[in-house]
Structure 1
Amino acid sequence: MSFLRRFHNIVSQQNISTTEKIQLLLKFGLEIFDLEIAIVSEVTDATYTILYVESDNAELTPQCKFDLQGTYCVHTLKANKALSFHHAGNSDISKHPCYTQFQLESYIGAPIRVANRTFGTINFSAAKVSQPFTAEHIDYVELFAQWLGFELARIESEVRLRNNYKTLKKVEQVAAIGSWRVNMSNQQVFWSNETKKLHGIDLNTTPSLSEWVKFIDSELYQQKFLHAVSHSKNDGESWELEFPATTQDKRKIWLSCHGEVESKDGGCINLIGSLQDITKDVLLREKLKDQKLEAETLLNERSLLLAKISHEMRTPLNGINGLLLNAMDEPEQAKVTENIQLALRSTEILTSLVNEILDFSKISQKGLSLTYHHSNITRIIYDVVELSKQLANKKDIEFSYSIDLPPQCWVKCDPVRLNQIITNLVSNAVKFTDSGGVELRAYSKERQPDIDLFIEVNDTGIGMSSTSIKHLFDPFKQGENEVGSHFGGTGLGMSIVKELIELMQGTIEVHSILKHGSQFKVCIPLTSAPEPKAKTLPSTKEFDASKLAVLVVEDNDINQKVISAFLSKFNITPDIAPNGKLAIQQCEQSTYDVIFMDSIMPVMDGLTATSTILDKGLVAEHCQIIAMTANTDELSQKHFAAAGMHDILPKPIDFMTLGRIIATCIEKTP
């Protein structure tokens, strides 16, 4: 049974209390996350109070109180979002009081929000090291927290209403709540002025019971009301009923009606009660239902995304694995080379998929940023043209282009992201065009002292309907239903393109007719820049860096071989350290000119190792420490610089980038 089905089966049960539902959810969560302790807490100031708990530890009981700073939940509340870690002892929080006192290794939790305030947390933990938590696990715990927020808000609302009723000894005295009375002997009705105001009738008017019923919308609610009155008269029980009503002046409202029996000599003489306008509460309740449905829809979309990404990534992975296995047993060198070239092409496809997923993740976290350089946009577009020719040739379609730009059009921009935008638009056009051709136009208009860059991509492909255009930039959407299955892809490309264009303060327009092709028009404002002084990188044949003493700190055996092979082309044979702790020992014994430092490693990560090496003065002043990482966003760059790293070598490793770094290190080495 799926997670959502089991979740729904628990929360939709009408024959159990909220407390029972919460306990079932906590047990369900322990099963899903494979942990040992489940807690719903309330946090007031610096005090953490257990409200509900599922654990074999008898010391953990409801109303147990702890110092908030001594719990992992302090990080969850500070981040204001779901957090998780599966091995606390091997993380930055290994000195946290919750770890030092209770040795809790695994934790996943989310803040519970009630209305506009943070109520507390729901969290699951264990003393054992668990498997790493996935994005789905984060979605699950956030859905738990959201439902709890809705339920606690509903309970608080009900408690408020009940407290109001208890204080209504004389409902006439309660402001904004109307009172009513029905004489059971003659069916005469009395409405207070507040009740008359609620229904919008004249204060001098006294309705009959039948006239009252007519204010209630729908026959169903009218029958419920009459049944409650009759049942209360016969059995002497109090009742509460919510129903929609239409006032005399045609306003649609919701009313909460409370009724009780007034007895004398064992018989019912009157029914008395109160009426309250609960329209806002009902609307809020409906809003919470919509939000819950939206959360469930998002969870379903995330599951579909994972399935789609899994399918798309397995294709190039299968190619890489199969082609390399074939190359191992292939006696002919030409076929070995061909297999390796095809495997490299599969790695490019896989890298492109990973980059799309990472970019979308940055968009979701508002972390996508630009890195500005002085760039020649004419050269960037001609690079795209050359790639596009190859893509079009493979599909045997025509590719034409028109570039009306100055030969030396230097601007301040992010060249990688600009290339990504244009390449994605052209490759998409080629992808969805089986006959005819694709045209790329690039031109500029002066906007003294700067320019506006215009990019137009036209194709004779499958085109799009108006509905597809409407959802074109939504993630995971690929137009008509059959498009995704026929053409493949994650459906993230166009949403990333739009985000990048807007990040550059630009615009994108789309015109398309189904089965008659599409046109994309992009305008990006760019700041003019002077042409920088040319820097040349010598070829590897004359690029001898053998004088450099190099240390590579990398835990992955394959990555060790990859960078060692690249460095050998510069006549460098590096020392290897598999983690930060051993790197420190190497620096204590040898002097290095360059250290390539992986950022994430077991035992000790690259940031900690770098800070320790510099603090202890284990390297010469000219030594360059280079971060090796797949995280090249602006925030990561700040963290690397703060630790003392001088540059970044992105993964997968680009040979030209490595050459630039080596050249810089040679210049700085005495």
Structure 2
Amino acid sequence: MVYFDEQSSLNVKLEHQLKASLTSLVQRGCDSFGVFQGLLLQLDEETVNILVKASSAYAPNFKSVPSFSTCVPVDNCFPVNSAKCSTAFKQWFSTYFNAEKYIRGRVHTLDGSQVCLVFINACPEQSVNLDKLSLLDDCLSVMLDKFHLEKAETNQNTLYEKLQSVANIGTWEVDLTTNALSWSSQTRLIHEVSEDFVPTLETAINFYKEGFDRDEINRIVSHTVATGEPWSATLELVSAKGNSVWIETHGMAEMKHGKCIRLFGTCQNVNKSVQLRLELEERRREAEAASKERGMLLSRISHELKTPLNGITGMLQALKFENKENVRMRKADVALHSADRLLSLINDVLDYTSIINGEFSLKYSDFCARSLIEDILDVFKTKCAEKGVRLYAVLSFDENTYVHGDAARISQVITNLLSNAVKFTPKGYISVQVTLKHQGDVPILLASIEDTGVGMSDEILSRIFRPFQNDTASASEELNGNGLGLSIVNQLVGKMDGELEVRSSAGKGSCFDIAIPVEMAVLDKEKQSDVILSSDLLSVPLNVLVVDDNDINRFVLASMLEKFNYLPDEAENGEVAVQMARAKKYDIIFMDCAMPVLDGVSATKIIVQENLLPKHGRIVAVTANTTPEDKTNCSNAGMADFLAKPVVQNDVTLQVRHALNAKSVTA
């Protein structure tokens, strides 16, 4: 029976072979000496380990026994035979091995340990026994030398396999005389085949991707077989599991009498490095395209800036020497118009660059959809009237429809589309249809802007959403515009997960359809209790101004104020409001923000800067744009509070109470 130490790191197959050989050797020794027990001992400083035991029926009965002495070398702690040992050692030997006589062989090395043969009850006085033991030691030495060589080779192969795995490199070999192909384990892993897969030269080549890669490996192999020249190539193969794998393959030939008899080489998985290289190449192309686009963008911006700048500087220079009032006014209007175009271009460029540079973010809030669209339409009514173009609008939702979205960007999209329609429609009409529909559980804001303008050809339509891709063939600089408006619209709609479609024919007008997903928001009208004004407060006189370009909105606010017997003055735009504030001190001004001629924020700044309000006076914003940015702009302009359209009685009453309290304190 063999007792081999399982803590050994030997290869399992070699270990089993060695056990069998050592057992046979010990048994042959017992037969030769005519004894029943033979041992192969491993001698440590503290223990004696029984590695091989001829018979389990005889002592020792343990796998390990305490060593007699911790001194080295072995000859000092385990004498060569019983005739040369001390009385103490004889006692130790008898205790554990249950015998008086023994002979020990030479000391050998096994896996770094000292081992020796011991035969129990073999007579040390017989010289023939010593000769037999010497022969057994020679056999043992040969066995152990063979084992150490095979183990070293096994370890080398194991290390080689590990290195292949770490580097992801597999090896292969083709014997062209028998057409036998062998793959290493790593080569099998790269090809993702099973352990029992038997590769052939044909099947190996068929793993390469059909087309260029397979044709190239066929060409390379044929050339090497014919010439003996080695190869190196990076090609793509498709594994047994259908995965695409980039490999770097190297091959060499063994020639005999001018004929190739063997091919051998390596294949390395370089998928990550190739994918990285391809990705870097794609990014390089994108960077070059972006650089080229930026260069064209800067060139076009430079060109576009020249026109309004020329208008501004030319007219300002002409004004210095102009004495006629009507001509001076006309030239001033041209300069102001050019300044507006310059500001519009700058704003569009800033918006566009912030979007493409990833510095753009949406800002969501609750807002009244109808009020937002009505404010936009109010601005364009005047512009359409000036050109003699009719403006139709159909809003298919009531005034209490509140949604959650980016009001400022939705407003910008519709404003840009309407501005585009007005610009390219010299006559006829512009139609705006806005509705709210549900697709499943998702509310969708649908808007359609149609015009009877100049329209677009298919060639223009193909590039209409690219920056500065306007109709450069047009003789009218006004019709060309700056070319950024529609590009910004397309970017914004995409950012809001919406869709944008355009239909147009040259000479027959255009129609832009947008669909933007939003969320429904419910206005909580009961969030505040009813505001009560005492009779004492209502006895205080109050000068009120309502500023709004929409006469219906002015009428609604006036009706709410008349409830308290206050008859407000009215202004249809910011410029008129400033003039009225210069003529009269108002205690409270309800100021719309989006108005033609002069908007509410600009009008507020003028009123505050010129100190046109009384000490207790206040300006309250009334608008459909309710984003935090809008509120900040109103506050920075000097507005005291902010009302979202459509306004409700309770909010107006609360503002009146603030104004009355402030006036009462200062009175």
Shorter-normalised TM-score: what interval?
Answer: 0.3 to 0.5
Larger relative contact order (CA 8 Å, sep ≥ 6): 2
With normalisation by structure 1, the TM-score equals: 0.45
Higher CA-based Rg: 2
